[in-house]
């Protein structure tokens, strides 16, 4: 018993690695059908592991049908073990199995851009920004020759921690903030720390499609949580937490992407309590908070967290200067240590220049003036889009902020057909199924009103609804 | 037979995922010693997989000693299965097992900085650079509001492909270049694509320690290749490629970090042929090429590659403006597709502002003037350090370029003691063992001469060698 237990501790992680290594060789076709595999002794020497480990891995693969044994002489690869398309001839390269449909849509330049949840660069304070850049060079003449610390510039983190306190009522120190290159990097780093194969992750349905791509690539299981104008069904969330023991719940609860919904204040405290009880990290992605219309949104989930179960991603750079790619992630120890280690390997820190420009602009009174104007401009954009949707008789829930409308098409307009025709006429939008972890929601689309100028917005929406009417007419004629 | 083969293809990837999922639960202590595990039916429902898959995974874990069966009633967790230190109480968080000793050294600010292979910001053209920034804002007023494409700004890639042709004789199109945020991000993305658990990766011995951290974190096996002033022993490399079937060989063949050695031209073509024959990707990291003294270094490996087995990482930003973190990666289709997909999930593209500033400065005549001056300054720095080393009677091979000296200590000076004493007196260097994939090389150290100013360099080296003499004297007195 003693002996066995010692063996277990030694061999477990190695067994897994050896097993995966063999599987990869077979999947990539480096070990082909009916190939005789190296002897246990030889392979154990090559990998530098105990022979018993190789033996166990061969056994597990045999049990699983990947290998077969012949004449007691050795192990052979079963036919059909290699996964189709998992390797490209001529380049034995491990491929990602996950593509990003969103980035495919964005790659094609179009005239009527309704697929990008970005702000029209014409609405950004470009001239002001260039002044701040000059100021940065006067203040830090060596900024281009200097690396930032991995966690991010301390001056910026100190300032942001104060601003988060004053503006969002968050209690945090500079040491509890890490600067990343955009929210996407933050999500990717967190997923890398938290998610292993088959780990459950709760995601809103619908949600930000690139986050889904990242979680899928980590091999995680997506467990959908419906989001409605009233927020979540907390009893259902609790049941999912109990059943799936999810590692984390990725939420975008304020002017939610793609729907524009905002989770009400009273649910926020309760969900944080659930997260603590079920040890499920809440990853709160909050890029649209400051882009509200009349009403200020409720306090972030992070404010209710006392035990370190909420990570807060604040990518306000969307409206400051998206090209700088500055995002702040707030979390408590010990998660911050993991995050710094991950960021260190990923790119060793976000460029200092970008952080310093951001700092000086973000803290200026000009930003508040700009933000006030921007809110009005976005509301005007939203209303133009809503007028055209109303004229077409389509359904949507009016959001209190954000950059998108989540629109239900009439049953007579198949979204696939609409999408193809629109792209042909240089109009882009995001088909709803891309945002759905289940890949359904085929009668929905996300229309971003923030990127196109007012003129193009009006004209593009008229063209889009006209195309839909054509498709309906063709359907009636039975084409 | 038909039935079995179909089953195999269905269940293989899922089996692995289910197996890993269970292992993770045990390792994180979510399933504890003597816990009864869920029934096969229940877990199969929860994970959405076939019951047979859960059964097989339970069986494999039982075989491996992680689980035990009791009274035919169910599966239980064996005691001792949970890895020590793999989880922190109070936060069920998956931890990285790999720390970065290099970033620990760099974190402490010191007066005599010999551990950073960076150029003294005082030697960089800070004033010129600020002019180029203003120019960039005039040319692209909306640069701060605009995202770059994932692959990188086309204007920059087109310019760089021409420069690489004219300066390094590389044949490549703009489509064969991707812009990353520093060489480290490039290495991390490539490792993510290429390396799975137990995959072999050839690495020079010694080499860039952060690359070792990245490969270790991917779970890869490090197979060392000795590098000497004469380059590699190609027969030994071939034997390693034959035996280990490495997925890639990470090389830094020009003014190599940490040794300063340069692999001779005649070996370059031969190694590319070996790489093609053994289907081993050569990852050529080339940050020091332009920082040579008298002689121009031989052409990159990439120039000899006709079949797409070399990836070229050109992080010339070290001497242009390291704070911008601009790096170019050259590779052929189909690897470029994988790289774009990885970059897309990692951060969706490097900031456009940084790319545009870099572009305009890199193509200016001022850069060539700056580079000429910088080469002389670096040589002066190197000579100061060499004078002090010679006075101490230590050994090193004079490099033809780069930023480091690789120094052998006398046996009477233990590097650990020297390191601790130096850090106490605000002098930093990199102990050789950090650069060694085997963690040996304990009588070596890497001294960077590029960061400290001439005065601090002289003074710091005198202090460092004095500390070594003290340690020697203590040793003689038997303290």
Peptide bond into B258 cis (omega under 30): yes
Q: B386: part of which helix (H) or strand (E)?
A: helix B365-392
Q: B203: part of which helix (H) or strand (E)?
A: strand B200-205
Asked if B93's CB is within 8 angstroms of A193's CB, the reply is yes
Judged against a pLDDT cut of 50, whether residue B306 lies above it is answered with yes
- Residues sharing a CB contact under 8 Å with residue A229, sequence separation 6 or more, in sequence order: A259, A261, A397
Per residue in B161-192, pLDDT (tens digit) is 999 999 899 999 999 999 999 999 999 999 99
Across residues A277-285, what is the average pLDDT?
96
Backbone angles phi, psi at A444, to 5 degrees: -115, 155
Per residue in B183-228, pLDDT (tens digit) is 999 999 999 999 887 889 999 999 999 999 999 888 888 999 999 9
Judged against a pLDDT cut of 50, whether residue B95 lies above it is answered with no
pLDDT above 70 covers what percent of chain A?
92
Which of A348, A355, A403 is best to mutate for the B interface (most B CBs within 10 A)?
A348
Instruction: Please tell me which residue, A87 or B121, carries the higher pLDDT value.
Output: B121
Question: Helix (H, G, I), strand (E, B), or coil: what is residue B230?
Answer: coil
pLDDT of residue B254: 97
* Chain B residues touching A345 at Cβ < 8 A: 100, 184, 188, 210, 213-214, 217
Look at residues A54, A188, A135, A165 and name the one whose alpha carbon lies nearest to residue A357: A135
Q: Residue A326: beta bridge partners?
A: A181
Backbone angles phi, psi at A237, to 5 degrees: -60, -45
Give the minimum alpha-carbon distance from A48 to chain B in angstroms, rounded to a whole number.
9
User: C-alpha B287: how far from its chain's center?
Assistant: 12
* Chain B residues touching A195 at Cβ < 8 A: 94
ipTM more than 0.90? no
Look at residues B285, B284, B282 and name the one whose alpha carbon lies nearest to residue B273: B282
Look at residues B455, B431, B451 and name the one whose alpha carbon lies nearest to residue B443: B431
Both structure tokens of A69: 């044994």
Asked if B107's CB is within 8 angstroms of A149's CB, the reply is yes
Q: Please tell me the distance from the alpha carbon of residue A272 to that of residue A282, in angstroms, as a whole number.
A: 8
Cβ proximity of B311 and B189 under 8 Å: no
What DSSP letter does each residue of A441-458 carry, written as one string? -TTEEEEE-SSS-HHHHH
* pLDDT band at residue B6 using 50, 70 and 90 as cut-offs: very low
Asked if B64's CB is within 8 angstroms of A20's CB, the reply is no
* pLDDT band at residue A3 using 50, 70 and 90 as cut-offs: very low
Q: Residue A314: beta bridge partners?
A: A328
Asked if A134's CB is within 8 angstroms of B134's CB, the reply is yes
* Chain A residues touching B143 at Cβ < 8 A: 323
Instruction: Please tell me which residue, B229 or B29, carries the higher pLDDT value.
Output: B229
Q: Does domain B101-119+367-476 have CATH number 3.90.1150.10?
A: yes
Judged against a pLDDT cut of 80, whether residue A101 lies above it is answered with no
| CA distances for A140 relative to A57, A132, A157, A300, angstroms | 57, 12, 17, 34
Asked if A24's CB is within 8 angstroms of B199's CB, the reply is yes
List strand residue ranges (DSSP E) for A34-138, in order. Answer: 67-70, 74-77, 112-113
Asked if A107's CB is within 8 angstroms of B65's CB, the reply is no
pLDDT of residue B80: 65
Give me the total of CB pairs closer than 8 Å, taking one residue from chain A and one from chain B. 318
Q: A205: part of which helix (H) or strand (E)?
A: strand A200-205
* pLDDT band at residue A69 using 50, 70 and 90 as cut-offs: confident
Judged against a pLDDT cut of 50, whether residue A175 lies above it is answered with yes
- Residues sharing a CB contact under 8 Å with residue B447, sequence separation 6 or more, in sequence order: B114, B385, B404, B405, B407, B429, B430, B461
Which of A39, A106, A345 is best to mutate for the B interface (most B CBs within 10 A)?
A345
pLDDT of residue B8: 34
Both structure tokens of A202: 């709760």
Judged against a pLDDT cut of 80, whether residue A128 lies above it is answered with no
Look at residues A182, A346, A175, A334 and name the one whose alpha carbon lies nearest to residue B94: A334
pLDDT of residue B82: 52
* Chain A residues touching B96 at Cβ < 8 A: 193, 338, 341-342
| CA distances for B248 relative to B222, B240, B319, B390, angstroms | 10, 12, 28, 38
Per residue in A135-148, pLDDT (tens digit) is 888 888 888 888 88
Question: Helix (H, G, I), strand (E, B), or coil: what is residue B398?
Answer: coil
pLDDT of residue B100: 62
Q: CATH second-level architecture of A123-366?
A: 3-Layer(aba) Sandwich (3.40)
Judged against a pLDDT cut of 80, whether residue B86 lies above it is answered with no
Look at residues A386, A397, A376 and name the one whose alpha carbon lies nearest to residue A465: A386
pLDDT of residue B5: 32
* Chain A residues touching B11 at Cβ < 8 A: 64-65
Asked if A9's CB is within 8 angstroms of B83's CB, the reply is yes
Please give the mean pLDDT across all residues of chain B: 87
What DSSP letter does each residue of B90-154 carry, written as one string? TB--PPPS---HHHHHHHS--SEE-S--S--GGGS-HHHHHHHHHHHHHH-TTGGG-PPPTT--H
Q: Please tell me the distance from the alpha carbon of residue A96 to that of residue A212, in angstroms, as a whole number.
A: 14
Q: CATH second-level architecture of B2-77?
A: Orthogonal Bundle (1.10)
Fold assignment, B124-366: 3.40.640
Please name the residue ranges forming H helices in B393-453: 415-424, 432-435
Look at residues B35, B451, B141, B246 and name the one whose alpha carbon lies nearest to residue A133: B141
Q: Please tell me the distance from the alpha carbon of residue B147 to that of residue B143, in angstroms, as a whole number.
A: 8
Asked if A8's CB is within 8 angstroms of B65's CB, the reply is yes
Residue ranges per domain, chain A?
2-77, 101-119+367-476, 123-366
pLDDT of residue B81: 59
Nearest to A182 among B25, B60, B347 (CB): B347
Cβ proximity of A205 and A436 under 8 Å: yes
Judged against a pLDDT cut of 70, whether residue A92 lies above it is answered with no
pLDDT of residue B29: 76
Q: Please tell me the distance from the alpha carbon of residue B274 to that of residue B281, in angstroms, as a whole number.
A: 10
The Cα angle at residue B420 between residues B419 and B425, in degrees rounded to 5: 95
Look at residues A132, A102, A101 and name the one whose alpha carbon lies nearest to residue A115: A102
Give the minimum alpha-carbon distance from A34 to chain B in angstroms, rounded to a whole number.
14
Backbone angles phi, psi at A446, to 5 degrees: -105, 125
Asked if B12's CB is within 8 angstroms of A66's CB, the reply is yes
Q: Which residue of A has its CA nearest to B342?
A: A96
Helix (H) and strand (E) counts in chain B: 17, 15
Both structure tokens of B176: 């064969």
Nearest to A323 among B147, B323, B345 (CB): B147
| CA distances for B369 relative to A337, B164, B356, B372, B375, angstroms | 43, 19, 20, 5, 10
Per residue in A404-455, pLDDT (tens digit) is 999 999 999 999 999 999 999 999 999 999 999 999 999 999 999 999 999 9
Give the minimum alpha-carbon distance from A120 to chain B in angstroms, rounded to a whole number.
8
Backbone angles phi, psi at A439, to 5 degrees: 70, 20
* Chain B residues touching A66 at Cβ < 8 A: 8, 12
Judged against a pLDDT cut of 70, whether residue A88 lies above it is answered with no
Cβ proximity of A77 and A26 under 8 Å: yes
Query: How many Cβ atoms from other residues are within 10 Å of residue A29's Cβ?
Result: 18
Question: Helix (H, G, I), strand (E, B), or coil: what is residue B425?
Answer: coil
pLDDT of residue B12: 53
Q: Please tell me the distance from the alpha carbon of residue A430 to that of residue A120, in angstroms, as a whole number.
A: 17
Q: What is the dihedral of CA B95, B96, B100, B106, to 10 degrees?
A: -40
Please give the mean pLDDT across all residues of chain A: 87
Asked if B121's CB is within 8 angstroms of A324's CB, the reply is no
Per residue in B117-176, pLDDT (tens digit) is 888 888 887 777 777 787 888 888 888 888 889 999 999 999 999 999 998 999 999 999
Instruction: Label residue B68 exposed, middle or buried (CB < 10 Å: 0-12, 13-18, 19+).
Output: middle
Nearest to B124 among A11, A19, A145 (CB): A145
Q: What is the dihedral of CA A255, A258, A261, A265, to 10 degrees?
A: -60
């Amino acid at each position: 018993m003693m002996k066995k237990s010692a063996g277990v501790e030694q061999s477990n992680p190695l067994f897994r690695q050896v097993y995966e290594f063999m599987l990869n060789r077979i999947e990539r076709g480096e070990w082909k059908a009916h190939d005789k595999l190296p002897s246990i002794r030889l392979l154990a020497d090559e990998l530098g592991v105990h022979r018993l480990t190789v033996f166990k891995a061969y056994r597990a693969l045999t049990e699983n049908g990947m290998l077969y044994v012949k004449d007691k002489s050795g192990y052979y690869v079963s036919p059909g073990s290699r996964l189709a398309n998992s390797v490209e001839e001529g380049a034995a390269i491990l491929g990602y199995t996950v593509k990003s449909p969103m980035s495919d849509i964005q790659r094609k330049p179009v005239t009527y851009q309704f697929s990008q949840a970005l702000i029209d660069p014409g609405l950004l304070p470009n001239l002001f920004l260039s002044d701040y850049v000059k100021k940065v060079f006067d203040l830090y003449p060596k900024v281009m020759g200097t690396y930032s610390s991995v966690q991010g510039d301390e001056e910026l983190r100190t300032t942001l921690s104060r601003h988060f306190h004053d503006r969002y009522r968050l209690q945090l120190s500079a040491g509890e903030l890490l600067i990343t290159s955009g929210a996407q990097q933050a999500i990717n780093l967190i997923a890398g720390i938290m998610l292993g194969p088959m780990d459950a992750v709760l995601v809103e349905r619908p949600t930000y499609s690139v986050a889904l791509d990242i979680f899928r690539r980590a091999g995680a299981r997506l467990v959908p949580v419906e989001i409605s104008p009233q927020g979540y069904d907390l009893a259902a969330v609790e049941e999912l937490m109990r059943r799936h023991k999810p590692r984390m719940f990725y939420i975008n609860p304020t002017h939610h992407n793609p729907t524009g919904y905002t989770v009400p204040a009273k649910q926020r405290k309760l969900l944080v309590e659930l997260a603590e009880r079920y040890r499920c990290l809440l990853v709160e992605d909050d890029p649209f908070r400051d882009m509200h219309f009349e009403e200020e949104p409720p306090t972030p989930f992070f404010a209710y967290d006392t035990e370190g179960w909420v990570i807060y991603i604040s990518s306000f750079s969307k409206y400051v200067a998206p090209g700088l790619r500055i995002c702040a992630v707030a979390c408590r120890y010990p998660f911050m240590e993991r995050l710094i280690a991950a960021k260190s390997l990923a790119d060793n820190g976000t460029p200092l220049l970008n952080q310093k420009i951001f700092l000086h602009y973000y803290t200026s009174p000009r930003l508040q003036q700009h933000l006030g104007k921007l809110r009005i401009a976005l509301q005007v954009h939203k209303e133009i889009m809503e007028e055209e949707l109303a004229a077409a008789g389509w359904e949507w829930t009016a959001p209190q902020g954000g950059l998108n409308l989540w629109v239900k098409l009439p049953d007579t307009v198949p979204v696939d057909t609409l999408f193809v025709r629109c792209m042909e006429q240089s109009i882009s939008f995001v088909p709803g199924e891309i945002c759905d972890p289940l890949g359904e929601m085929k009668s929905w689309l996300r229309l971003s009103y923030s990127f196109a100028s007012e003129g193009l917005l009006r004209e593009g929406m008229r063209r889009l609804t006209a195309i839909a009417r054509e498709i309906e007419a063709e359907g009636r004629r039975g084409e």
